[in-house]
Copies of this chain bind each other. A is one copy, B any other.
Amino acid sequence: MALQTAVTKLLNIRYPVIQGGMIWVSGWKLAAACSRAGVLGLIGAGSMDPELLRHHIQRLRQACPKGGWGVNLPIFFQHAEAMIQVIEDENVPVVVTSGGSPGVYTARLKDAGRRVLHVTSTPKLALKCQSAGVDAVVVEGFEAGGHNGRDELTTMTLVGRCVDTVDIPVIAAGGIADGRSMAAALALGAAGVQIGTALVASEESSAHPAFKQAVIEANDGDTALLMRQLIPVRTLKNQWAHDVMAAEARGADKDTLLNLLGEGRSRRGMFEGDWQQGELEIGQAAAGVKGIRPAGEIIEDMVAQCRHTIARLAALQ
């Protein structure tokens, strides 16, 4: 078997790739397609309530009875406690937590032999994850879509620093959307990669067609990091994002920004398709997304290009 790393062994998957859990985008259908393609499929629980999560877990288990999937849960989330209960009831094999402290739920989640990963954005926090007992850490660079770290460390600088700081496997996220960037992440010392943006416009994604279309049309420089004073988030630069950027340039305070965010902004954009007034979370890698394709095909192409890239590098020696 090719491309075996500590992550393929840890998660019992064919390729060292995790499909990022994305709100409004990664329900059981996308997770199942990714799991069938040999990578870890994740339900993005951050946009679900506990009963909807239970439904998605049950459908995913039916589709992939052998495992190779899990749930991503932002633990600062209002329903976190109830969501953890559902994860335990349904015996989810892998949980990727994000936001909040890895110390809060890791021990409890690991109790039943569950694998627990945590998403973070600095070497210092990666060390905190290791101390909390997580099995591997997902480290996400500035170029990543969605919520983002305050230190703005990019994947190119972040991954090596984390690898030098912790002993547990490091999974690179942010800007990884093809086989070249996958190979680059492995070169930096990552034992695997997490991909999100590359799958938003997949057939199995539950993103609204208008959001998928906006991703396909995005060019270089069409995303921005917004809301640095609240929780930084990378989105497409639509009308709403431009309004936020203009307010920030004027020195807007937190209350003004909270008002601009309002309620349900991400649902409105990513799930309901309001591509000008909604929040469209996506990474810089959107510029390379060219059409709507099956997730399995995206993953197969990525892995094949990664192997080709490694062979190309080996020929330089």
Contact = CB atoms under 8 A, between A and B. Distances in A.
Interface of A: 2-5, 122-124, 141-143, 150-158, 160-161, 164, 174-176, 178, 180-181, 183-189, 220-221, 224-225, 229, 249-252, 283-285, 287-288, 307, 309-311, 313-314, 316-317
A157 B180 contact: no
Contact of A157 (B3, B153, B284): B284
Given A154-B142, A285-B157, A187 B178 contact: no
27 contacts: A2-B316, A122-B220, A142-B152, A142-B154, A143-B153, A151-B221, A152-B221, A152-B224, A154-B156, A155-B156, A156-B181, A157-B285, A157-B287, A158-B220, A160-B288, A161-B220, A161-B287, A180-B189, A183-B187, A183-B313, A184-B184, A184-B185, A187-B310, A249-B251, A307-B317, A310-B317, A313-B313
Q: How many copies does the complex hold?
A: 2
A162 to B, nearest CB: 9
B183 A156 contact: no
Nearest to A248: B251
A154 B183 contact: no
A8 B287 CA distance: 30
Given A161-B287, A317-B311, A154 B180 contact: no
A204 B175 CA distance: 35
A284 B314 CA distance: 28
